[in-house]
Chain A
Amino acid sequence: MNIRPLRRITCLVTTMLLGCAPEWGSLEFELLNSPPSPHVLVDRYGEHIRLPEAIAVVVSAHPISDNGVDYDDHERVELVSENPAVFRVYRRPNRNEFVFVGVTAGTTCVEVRIDGSAEECIPVEVTPPT
């Protein structure tokens, strides 16, 4: 039995009465620079990241709630590479902006943490240099 609609309704009712926290759904990426390589792929809904070695892309990352209660942009989003020798993530001074860098060819994943809570690990593929 799918309890998600029930949870959503329950949460909405609870929100009206007491307030309710958003529930993790996914991470939405927006590309902020024009990568000089056509082989860059940053899936908008955070399902996959692919970029060539030594290329950098700049993204903003926004968590999407799955229960109808939106994140209020005060959450701290952290992206942590599981293997920085393959893929590195740098922060930007602007909130929720990051720079992805392909270091050496290989695969790894980048962990998404919202307010310190690990939510998922997005698969990353770093391809050989173009």
Chain B
Amino acid sequence: MTTIAIHRRWHTVRRVCLPLWLGLGLGCPADDDDGFEPDQVGELGAGTFRYRCVGDTDPYCSNDATLAYFPDRIAVGGHFGLQFTPNDPARAGHYPVVPAGPAVSQQLDAFRFEREGLVAFLALDALGEVIDLRHFHGAEVDRVAVLRDAVEVLRVDLQPGDQLTLEALPKDVLGSTLAGSLTYQWSVADPSVAELVSAPYGRSPTVRGLRNGATLLQVQVGALLQQYDVRIGTGADPEDPEEPEEPETSESSGGTTGAEADASSSGDDTAADESSTNGDASTSSESSGADPAEESSTGEVEQ
């Protein structure tokens, strides 16, 4: 019950904040009700920096309990915000936070790393004096991990008619999950085998199997193109008498120039939305129009 309540609350927060993000260019503070600790003391101890999500694809603003801490590694190209509050209540007010140098660009309250490396962020007072500061590490997205039930998977197995919602996490070369809102572009290489039933953007794509066969789920994040094998049913193409080859995992396929894929989004993100609401996103192997016998079959994923 608690879990459901938390997920519902998060859903409400997203619904309230999204128009603000889009309309006013403001970010909502991370949802600390879920145990997220968005504040971190500055390096000079004069106050606290609060991490703010800008957009809804930042994994540090999801309900993932393993990411319930202040991030210090942020994806190159990802958007985020920072807010500073001094310790001394007598000095309360607005303290703009500015990055040190052109490695980070700024638009309104949102920052974006333009390259890798450490960058200082300075909290300034009305006189332009530095009250406190903090360094953050910008890192390139090395790969996008795809998770089901919070466990990374290397291949997606589905039955025809079943669908499955996955969660993507951007990782750097060290394997750290990177903060920041990134733009994802999902597609399925062979839309006759499987289709995207969620919007092709976002961090939680929903894939539905259409017929027996094998194809690729592809995601583009910045310059990184990554592919995942998808097997529907037995994986055998009924029109192809040859036995299908065992699909290869494409974990390290960053930068692969895969075949041009048709994004077969139906534009219906209800399934993804619902699954994030009920907190069962990655287990939503929901049959659509399948008979009860088929409904009992669940999407399987090689782990």
- Verify if B6 is at the interface (C-beta below 8 Å from A): no
The CA of A102 and the CA of B125, in the complex, are separated in Å by 20
- Verify if B291 is at the interface (C-beta below 8 Å from A): no
The CA of A92 and the CA of B122, in the complex, are separated in Å by 11
- Verify if A2 is at the interface (C-beta below 8 Å from B): no
- Verify if B101 is at the interface (C-beta below 8 Å from A): yes
Chain A residues with Cβ under 8 A from B8's Cβ?
A: none
Please report which residues of chain B, range 113-163, place their CB below 8 angstroms from some CB of chain A when the two chains form the complex: 115-120, 122, 124-125, 127-131, 133, 135
Whether the pair B100, A56 counts as a contact (CB closer than 8 A) is yes
Chain A residues with Cβ under 8 A from B100's Cβ?
A: 54-56, 88, 101-103
Find A33's partner among B43, B103, B119 (CB 8 Å cutoff). B43
Please report which residues of chain B, range 93-113, place their CB below 8 angstroms from some CB of chain A when the two chains form the complex: 99-104
The CA of A103 and the CA of B100, in the complex, are separated in Å by 6
Chain A residues with Cβ under 8 A from B130's Cβ?
A: 56, 58, 90-92, 99
Chain B residues with Cβ under 8 A from A104's Cβ?
A: 101-102
Whether the pair B44, A103 counts as a contact (CB closer than 8 A) is no
Whether the pair B135, A90 counts as a contact (CB closer than 8 A) is no
Quick one: given A56-B100, A103-B100, A103-B101, are A90 and B118 in contact (CB under 8 Å)? no
Chain A residues with Cβ under 8 A from B125's Cβ?
A: 93
Chain B residues with Cβ under 8 A from A93's Cβ?
A: 125, 129, 131
Report the count of interface residues on A (CB-CB < 8 A).
23
The CA of A90 and the CA of B98, in the complex, are separated in Å by 12
Give, as a whole number of angstroms, the nearest-CB distance from B58 to chain A: 22
Interface of A, helix, strand, loop or mixed by DSSP: loop
Give, as a whole number of angstroms, the nearest-CB distance from B40 to chain A: 14
Report the count of interface residues on B (CB-CB < 8 A).
24
Quick one: given A36-B135, A54-B100, are A101 and B120 in contact (CB under 8 Å)? yes
Whether the pair A56, B129 counts as a contact (CB closer than 8 A) is no
Whether the pair A130, B118 counts as a contact (CB closer than 8 A) is yes
Find B129's partner among A37, A91, A103 (CB 8 Å cutoff). A91
Find B135's partner among A32, A55, A103 (CB 8 Å cutoff). A55
Give, as a whole number of angstroms, the nearest-CB distance from A82 to chain B: 17
- Verify if A129 is at the interface (C-beta below 8 Å from B): yes
The CA of A90 and the CA of B135, in the complex, are separated in Å by 16
Nearest chain B residue, comparing its CB with the CB of A93: B129
Quick one: given A91-B130, A93-B129, are A53 and B101 in contact (CB under 8 Å)? yes
Nearest chain A residue, comparing its CB with the CB of B119: A54
The CA of A93 and the CA of B91, in the complex, are separated in Å by 12
Whether the pair A32, B122 counts as a contact (CB closer than 8 A) is no
Whether the pair A36, B122 counts as a contact (CB closer than 8 A) is no
The CA of A99 and the CA of B125, in the complex, are separated in Å by 14
Chain B residues with Cβ under 8 A from A130's Cβ?
A: 117-118
The CA of A33 and the CA of B135, in the complex, are separated in Å by 12
Best-buried of A52, A53, A56 by chain B (most CB within 10 Å): A56
Quick one: given A101-B122, A130-B118, are A92 and B129 in contact (CB under 8 Å)? yes
Whether the pair B122, A37 counts as a contact (CB closer than 8 A) is no
The CA of A55 and the CA of B120, in the complex, are separated in Å by 5
Please report which residues of chain B, range 186-223, place their CB below 8 angstroms from some CB of chain A when the two chains form the complex: none
Quick one: given A36-B118, A99-B130, are A58 and B102 in contact (CB under 8 Å)? no
Find A54's partner among B118, B124, B127 (CB 8 Å cutoff). B118
Top 4 nearest A-B pairs by Cβ distance?
A56-B120, A129-B117, A54-B101, A54-B119
